[in-house]
């Protein structure tokens, strides 16, 4: 029997891995669980991803695109005269107010890098790319501080189950920007 050409199979496996982690956590991620979720033969998961770390890297890379997409589409970085702290706080609200499962999944994969060295470069890539996008409005050190503050705000909201507090986020981000000097907020 000739082999069936299925160019979307790899992507279906990544999407299935994201759903499995969303439902069962990292501990529930197995090739067998992903194959069942993707409705593909078990051999397909090991053909496309030699190990679970490789699959998690692909899933984390895709999950990381969520915040980047919200940030890029927000316009918060486009207008050098706009209030950067308010724009970023609004972006965090949009991101946390969307599919919370997706945000939780992203952070679960992101924090899995603590124990899985293969994920660390992807986590570092996300932090670097986000900080780099913020340098359109501020210096590199302040951009990194903003990323750290936004991560902390998101983690606190996710871990405590409290609703996102946009005024708190705005004030926190303003303080980070103020510490960098008056020129940081104007671009």
User: Of 19, 32, 15, which Cα lies nearest the Cα of 104?
Assistant: 19
Domain boundaries of the chain, sorted by first residue = 1-50, 63-182
pLDDT tens-digit profile of 31-41? 999 999 999 99
Distance CA 162, CA 127 (A): 24
User: What confidence tier does 168 reach under pLDDT thresholds 50, 70, 90?
Assistant: very high
Give 152's Cβ-side CA count (13 Å radius): 11
With a CB cutoff of 8 Å and minimum separation 6, the contacts of 128 are none
Flag whether pLDDT at 5 surpasses 80. no
Flag whether pLDDT at 8 surpasses 80. yes
Q: What's the pTM?
A: 0.81
The pLDDT, as a whole number, for residue 49 is 93
Tell me yes or no: is domain 1-50 CATH 1.10.10.60. yes
CATH code at 63-182? 1.10.357.10
* Secondary structure class of 49 (helix, strand, coil): coil
Flag whether pLDDT at 100 surpasses 80. no
pLDDT tens-digit profile of 56-69? 899 888 888 878 88
Give the angle subtended at the CA of 181 by the CAs of 88 and 143, to the nearest 5°: 40
Secondary structure letter of residue 102 according to DSSP: H
């Amino acid at each position: 029997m000739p082999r069936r050409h299925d160019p979307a199979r790899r992507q279906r496996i990544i999407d299935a891995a994201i759903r499995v982690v969303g439902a069962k956590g990292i501990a529930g991620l197995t090739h067998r669980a992903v194959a069942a979720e993707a409705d593909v033969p078990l051999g397909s998961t090991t053909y496309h991803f030699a190990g679970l770390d490789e699959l998690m890297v692909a899933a984390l890379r895709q999950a990381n695109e969520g915040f980047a997409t919200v940030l890029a589409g927000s316009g918060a970085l486009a207008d050098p005269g706009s209030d950067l702290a308010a724009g970023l706080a609004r972006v965090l609200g949009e991101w946390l107010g969307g599919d919370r499962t997706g945000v939780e999944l992203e952070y679960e994969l992101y924090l899995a890098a603590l124990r899985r060295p293969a994920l660390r470069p992807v986590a570092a890539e996300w932090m670097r790319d986000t900080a780099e996008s913020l340098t359109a409005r501020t210096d590199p050190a302040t951009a990194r501080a903003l990323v750290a503050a936004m991560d902390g705000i998101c983690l606190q909201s996710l871990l405590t189950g409290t609703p996102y507090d946009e005024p708190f986020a705005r004030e926190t981000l303003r303080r980070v920007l103020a510490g960098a000097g008056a020129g940081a907020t104007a671009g």
